[in-house]
Structure 1
Amino acid sequence: MAKYWRHICLAIVATGCLTFGSSNAFSELNTYQIKSAYLYQISKFVFWPEQKKQSDYFNLCILGENTYGGNLQKMEARTVFNKPIRLLSVSSYEKSADCHLLILTNPSKINSSAFQQWLSKHAVLTVADDAEHIDKAMVAFVLENQRVRLHINIGLAKQSGLSFAANLLEVASKVKTGDQQ
């Protein structure tokens, strides 16, 4: 009987792979679903200053075009440190002081030194979609061997008054300290 169920499960998996495996749209959708799930998990492994926890909401902000589709909206049903997640769109990083997590969809348009100076006064976790902008993102999503991986900039997080749990650092494929270039 167990052998029968194993064959059924294998057939379902194989059919799913054949149906969806070759579709680029499905791969892209899957990538952003994974990144959205990571965002939620990452937020639970960040040590936030107490004053940041005093707000009524956990503000997940996006600066630029929302490339995540409807995946971020699904997070609004969840909570971080017992605060409901609220998704906000911001027009500039200067207007994101109330954000807990800021997704930078086009970090190349941001002046690095001015942004780092702003971050030193605001405890906002920044996230970007590539390792090229690790000078602006505390967490960067990168694709390595067709898998979403994390690069973490500890120095930038420390500058902003944030730190990461060891569990999160263990899953990162690269960790940058403040003195690395």
Structure 2
Amino acid sequence: MRVSRAVRYWTITALISLGLCTSLSHAQVDESVLAAAYIYNITQFTTWPTGALANSQLLACVNGQSSLGIELGKLAGKSAGGHPWAVAPLEATDNPGKCNVIVLEKDTSFSKALADNLASDRPALVISTFDMGSRPWVVRLFTEDSHIRFDIDRTAAARRHLSLSSRLLSLARNVL
């Protein structure tokens, strides 16, 4: 059992590191590429309740015009936790209730449907890239000392019926 835990730990660490290295052809990597890798890898270690993923697809909704949205779109078709990864533009999504991952950026326009979805306990992994003042997010990505870091709100994850790997929790800067 001890070996399997060590293997899981190193697998998580390797996957996050691999995600960080996917586009390291230059000395400096675009922050949106790194943020997309973090988001993709975080979904790898998130478990949704049975029946929450429509068509067994993992649908990420994000601003389709942002650099982060474009980078996440490049991951479409990959497998995330055994589910095909798909991306939809949040601004064109009239029903954010079908989104399994909702990525909020500073320039995200909040429709009534999106605001209602964020206030609900629907199983959606809400990831914010900015300080919203309140915490409707499960994960918040941010840059600190030229590094991307993340905080996790375990209470929000539980309210949304999401299970986060203990190894993922151990990699977070803060677990609230």
Structure 1, unaligned runs of 5 or more: 1-19, 177-181
1:131-142 to 2 correspondence within 5 Å?
131-133=131-133, 135-142=135-142
Q: In the alignment, which residue of structure 2 is the partner of 1:149? A: 149
1:95-174 to 2 correspondence within 5 Å?
95-106=95-106, 110=110, 114=116, 116-118=118-120, 120=121, 122-133=122-133, 135-174=135-174
* Separation in 2, partners of 1:77, 1:94: 23
* Separation in 1, partners of 2:139, 2:75: 18
Amino acid in the other structure paired with 1:75 = L
1:122-162 Cα shifts (integer Å, max 9, x gaps): 10100111244561211111111110000111111111111
Structure 2, unaligned runs of 5 or more: 1-25
Amino acid in the other structure paired with 1:117 = A
Amino acid in the other structure paired with 1:37 = A
Backbone CA RMSD of aligned residues: 2.8
1:57 aligns with 2:57: yes
Q: Secondary structure at the match of 2:66?
A: coil
Amino acid in the other structure paired with 2:32 = Y
Evaluate the alpha carbon distance shift between residue 133 and residue 43 of structure 1 in structure 2; reply closer, same or farther with a 3 A threshold: farther
1:67 aligns with 2:67: yes
1:63–1:93 Cα contact (<8 Å) kept: no
Q: In the alignment, which residue of structure 2 is the partner of 1:79? A: 79
* Separation in 2, partners of 1:92, 1:133: 25
Evaluate the alpha carbon distance shift between residue 88 and residue 108 of structure 1 in structure 2; reply closer, same or farther with a 3 A threshold: closer
* Separation in 1, partners of 2:63, 2:80: 20
Evaluate the alpha carbon distance shift between residue 162 and residue 73 of structure 1 in structure 2; reply closer, same or farther with a 3 A threshold: same
Instruction: Point out the structure with max Rg over C-alpha.
Output: 1
Evaluate the alpha carbon distance shift between residue 69 and residue 82 of structure 1 in structure 2; reply closer, same or farther with a 3 A threshold: closer
* Separation in 2, partners of 1:64, 1:128: 15
1:6-85 to 2 correspondence within 5 Å?
29=30, 31-63=31-63, 65-68=65-68, 70-85=70-85
1:64–1:104 Cα contact (<8 Å) kept: no
Q: Secondary structure at the match of 2:158?
A: helix
1:96-134 Cα shifts (integer Å, max 9, x gaps): 11111110123886589855532x1x1010011124456
In terms of mean alpha carbon deviation, does 161-170 or 86-95 score higher?
A: 86-95
* Separation in 2, partners of 1:75, 1:63: 15
1:107–1:136 Cα contact (<8 Å) kept: no
In the TM superposition, residue 80 of structure 1 has moved relative to its aligned partner by 1.8
In terms of mean alpha carbon deviation, does 64-73 or 154-163 score higher?
A: 64-73
Q: In the alignment, which residue of structure 1 is the partner of 2:6? A: none
TM-score (norm 2): 0.71
Q: In the alignment, which residue of structure 2 is the partner of 1:17? A: none
Amino acid in the other structure paired with 1:97 = G
